[in-house]
């Protein structure tokens, strides 16, 4: 196997050479780049409303927090702008922020509710001047209540769900005359239990030849080995520089170090942990010319390093063809994207390509287009299209963000998305009214899915080649400051290449249809009430055969009242329909629950 450090050196040298070539050209104002990005990503209706004080330079208005959400891996495949789709899992939550400037320096949010749900957010701006910003922040979300199984066995109809998530850090930036320096550090601590039921054989015996015999019929019962508490710890450092006044040459260069540690190595049923360290370099070097044109190169390089319990001993075979996880190994994943941009009065165009590299025992080199464009075809009517691809790093850390209940002893190969084509139309048809239609096709090799592990209650990450067609529409309506209404629906058609050992290959965990709607009413200036509903249908799980999951149907209500710019009160009622349902099969979510709290700006 080639030395990963050597490969990394080659990639960085190549990047430096390409960067030197592009430096010979002139550049376009960076605001045009930002404008193009906004045009292409369009509306981010489902973007997480997280109150990250390290990413804002003013304080949030006093208002109700949005209930704590849980990221779902399939969401990035269903939406045109690829924001992270969210489901309510806990009643505790972060601010739904409207950022505005005042003379106060900090905020505090405290909330508590049923199921022993507790939420807290704190942030303070130590410096907030024209040139310097220094922020500290901390967030807490926890739960310690019983949830009911959808299919209880052996009179065990419920289990205690334990969850304690904490994160905090510091962020600093300074504006020099020609560039901005950004630096930061963040620490995350997550403590939780595997509260799902364990699937075990009903009978275990020996044949006349002395061979172990396992029945194909399964019971569902708790196993003390699998309900031990797990702990994830994350430490991140980042630094970067962004150029100003890019008349001849511009750059955006960032470095991130991420250390991810797990207490228990579940794959081998022991306490040997796995530690993953990731070094990431992101850059964009560009040069404008002829006022409305730009040439440049973007890049992303990830070096992943592992130590501790690496080999997965629970599954036996680790061949790539079966879709099973593989032992973690040190390797590099990198993407280089040269591009050319051209802008007119009412249109934007990007022509480029992605060259993607993976080193290690499963080294790969592949490419995808990177083309995008939009045009204003009528007043407040935008037509857009794009064709691109990407390399998705399936690190232990990234997988834990998708599904924390995944087997933590092995990693998977990177997902290779070689085509992601989209087309859509956005139209502001009338004052206060906006609608959009969109559709797309996505083809991915080694797409990541999650299935339950036999004899256990944790998930494993598996890799299937997938193809997806999706189409949808959304609309918004606002009436002055009194009423806001949103509605969005997406239909997905999945095609999954069958792997050895699977009777059928569904897009496990991903819905065929998603519908989300919400309405906010403000009868008086200081009072607001929001009711929202989400539906996800035709989801499947896998445990020796396909399992049809219950449709997700969730209705939530939130109310808030601001006494003044300093104090506010909120209350929320979640899962009003009190449905027994699951985000991940065998891991039920909370029933009807309530939370109340206060927001303080100081």
DSSP string, 446-488: EEEEEEEPTTSSSEEEEEEEEEEEEEEEEEEEEETTTEEEEEE
| 193-203 pLDDT, tens digit each | 989 887 665 44
Q: What is the pLDDT of residue 91?
A: 29
C-alpha 365/C-alpha 391 separation (Å) is: 11
Q: Which domains does the chain have, with CATH numbers?
A: 4-424+573-601 (2.40.170)
**b or e along 259-276 (b: 16 or more beta carbons within 10 Å of the residue's beta carbon)?**
bbbbbbbbbbeeeebbbb
CA distance 148 to 154: 14
CA distances from 74 to 9, 153, 259, 388 (A): 34, 30, 25, 18
Q: Widest CA span of the chain, in angstroms? A: 84
Compute the distance between CA of residue 2 and CA of residue 57 in angstroms, rounded to an integer.
45
CA dist., res. 75 & res. 82, Å (int): 7
What rounded mean pLDDT belongs to the chain?
78
Q: Is the pLDDT of residue 17 over 60?
A: no
The three state secondary structure string of 389-443 is EEEECCCHHHHHHHCCCECCCCECCCEEEEEEEEEEEEEEEECCEEEEEEEEEEE
pLDDT at 326: 52
Helix (H) or strand (E) holding 4, with range, is helix 4-22
Helix (H, G, I), strand (E, B), or coil: what is residue 267? Answer: helix
**What pLDDT score was predicted for residue 199?**
65
The residue ranking higher by pLDDT, 367 or 543, is: 367
Among 81-85, 235-239, 535-539, the least confident range: 81-85
Q: Are 561 and 552 in contact (CB under 8 A)?
A: no
- Record the pTM: 0.79
Helix (H, G, I), strand (E, B) or coil at 602: coil
pLDDT per residue over 368-389, tens digit each? 999 999 999 988 999 999 999 9
What secondary structure does DSSP assign to 6-51, as a single string?
Answer: HHHHHHHHHHHHHHHHHTTS----HHHHHHHHHHHH---TT-----
Q: What is the mean pLDDT of residues 419-444?
A: 95
- Mean pLDDT of all residues in 216-241: 73
């Amino acid at each position: 196997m080639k030395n990963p450090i050597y490969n990394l050196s080659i990639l960085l040298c190549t990047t430096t050479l390409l960067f030197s070539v592009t430096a010979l050209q002139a550049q376009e104002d960076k605001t045009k780049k930002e404008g193009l990005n906004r045009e292409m990503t369009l509306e981010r209706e489902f973007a997480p409303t997280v109150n990250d004080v390290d990413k804002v330079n003013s304080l949030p208005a006093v208002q109700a927090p949005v209930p704590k959400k849980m990221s779902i891996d399939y969401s990035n495949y269903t939406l045109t702008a690829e924001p992270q789709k969210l489901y309510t899992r806990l009643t505790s939550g972060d601010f739904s922020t409207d950022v505005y400037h005042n003379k106060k320096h900090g905020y505090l949010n405290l909330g508590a509710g049923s199921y022993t749900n507790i939420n807290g957010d704190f942030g303070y701006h130590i410096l907030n001047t024209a040139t310097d910003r220094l922020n500290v922040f901390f967030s807490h979300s926890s739960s310690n209540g019983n949830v009911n199984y959808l299919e209880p066995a052996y009179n065990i109809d419920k289990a205690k769900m334990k969850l304690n998530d904490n994160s905090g850090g510091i962020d600093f930036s300074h504006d020099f005359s020609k560039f901005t320096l950004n630096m930061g550090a963040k620490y995350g601590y997550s403590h939780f239990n595997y509260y799902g039921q364990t699937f075990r054989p009903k009978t275990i015996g020996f044949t006349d030849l002395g061979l172990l015999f396992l029945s194909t019929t399964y019971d569902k019962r708790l196993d003390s080995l699998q309900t031990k508490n797990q702990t994830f710890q994350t430490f991140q450092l980042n630094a970067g520089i962004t150029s100003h006044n890019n008349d001849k040459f511009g750059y955006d260069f960032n470095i991130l170090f991420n250390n991810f540690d797990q207490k228990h190595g579940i794959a081998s049923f022991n306490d040997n942990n796995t530690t993953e360290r990731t070094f990431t370099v992101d850059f964009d070097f560009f040069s404008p010319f002829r006022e409305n044109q730009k040439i440049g190169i973007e890049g992303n390089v990830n070096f992943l390093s592992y130590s501790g319990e690496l080999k997965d001993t629970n599954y036996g075979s680790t061949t790539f063809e079966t879709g099973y996880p593989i032992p973690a190994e040190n390797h590099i994943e990198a993407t280089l994207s040269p591009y050319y941009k051209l802008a007119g009065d009412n249109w934007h165009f990007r022509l480029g390509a992605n060259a993607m590299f993976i080193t290690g025992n499963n080294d790969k080199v592949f490419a995808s287009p990177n083309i995008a464009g939009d045009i204003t075809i009528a007043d407040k009517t935008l037509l857009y299209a794009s064709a691109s691809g990407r390399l998705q790093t399936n690190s232990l850390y990234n997988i834990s963000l998708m599904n924390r209940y995944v087997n933590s002893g092995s990693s998977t190969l990177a997902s290779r998305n070689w085509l992601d084509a989209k087309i859509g139309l956005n139209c502001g048809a009338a004052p206060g009214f906006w609608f959009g239609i969109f559709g797309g096709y996505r083809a991915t090799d080694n797409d990541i899915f999650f299935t339950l592990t036999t004899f256990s209650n944790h998930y494993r990450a598996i890799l299937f080649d997938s193809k997806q067609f999706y189409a949808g529409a959304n609309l918004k309506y606002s009436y002055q400051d009194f009423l806001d209404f949103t509605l969005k629906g997406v239909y997905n058609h999945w095609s999954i290449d069958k792997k050895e050992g699977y009777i059928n290959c569904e897009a496990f965990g991903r819905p065929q249809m998603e519908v989300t709607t919400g309405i906010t009413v403000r009868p008086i200036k200081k009072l607001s009430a929001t009711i929202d509903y989400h539906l996800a249908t035709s989801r499947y799980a896998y445990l020796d055969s396909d399992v049809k999951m219950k449709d997700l149907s969730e209705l939530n209500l939130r109310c808030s009242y601001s006494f003044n710019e300093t104090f506010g009160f909120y209350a929320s009622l979640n899962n009003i329909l009190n449905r027994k349902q699951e985000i991940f099969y065998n891991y039920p979510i909370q029933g009807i629950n309530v939370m109340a709290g206060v927001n303080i700006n100081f």
